[in-house]
């Protein structure tokens, strides 16, 4: 069957948890410590204290582990402002289209500005 130790242990823990829940009364009251601990562990979106009481594992507001981010020199500019992935080695392997596009846009805006200044020069 090929079952690993970790899934087996998790199943046993889950089973023990279910057995403990089975012995508890159906009605839950305000002084129920297990319910209180369960509600305290929940992470809620927009909780102002969440940053101060965050667990040792880095998590975002939805309880998912945050993805690693690129921490090197900034990548080349692109049309969609997409940041490089965390495994990027810093080498620009593009064919130069984006660079030419930015140069063309800059040239157009400079020409427009020059034409405007020329048209209002006598005023």
Higher pLDDT, 18 or 41: 18
Q: Convert the pLDDT of each residue in 26-75 to its tens digit.
A: 888 888 888 888 888 787 888 877 777 665 445 555 556 678 889 989 88
- pLDDT at 105 (0 to 100): 96
- pLDDT at 57 (0 to 100): 47
Max CA distance (Å), the chain: 91
CA–CA dist 86, 72 (Å, integer): 9
Strands (E), the chain: none
What is the reported pTM? Answer: 0.45
- pLDDT at 21 (0 to 100): 85
- pLDDT at 28 (0 to 100): 82
- If residue 40 lies in a helix (H) or strand (E), which one and from where to where? helix 33-41
């Amino acid at each position: 069957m090929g079952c690993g130790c970790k899934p087996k242990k998790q199943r046993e823990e889950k089973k023990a948890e279910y057995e403990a829940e089975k012995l508890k009364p159906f009605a839950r009251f305000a002084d129920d410590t297990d319910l209180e601990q369960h509600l305290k562990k929940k992470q809620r979106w927009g909780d102002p204290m969440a940053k101060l009481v965050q667990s040792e594992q880095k998590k975002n507001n939805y309880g998912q582990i945050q993805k690693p981010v690129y921490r090197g020199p900034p990548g080349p500019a692109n049309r969609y402002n997409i940041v490089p992935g965390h495994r990027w080695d810093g080498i620009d392997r593009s064919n130069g289209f984006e660079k030419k596009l930015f140069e063309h846009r800059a040239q157009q805006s400079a020409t427009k500005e020059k034409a405007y200044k020329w048209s209002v020069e006598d005023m």
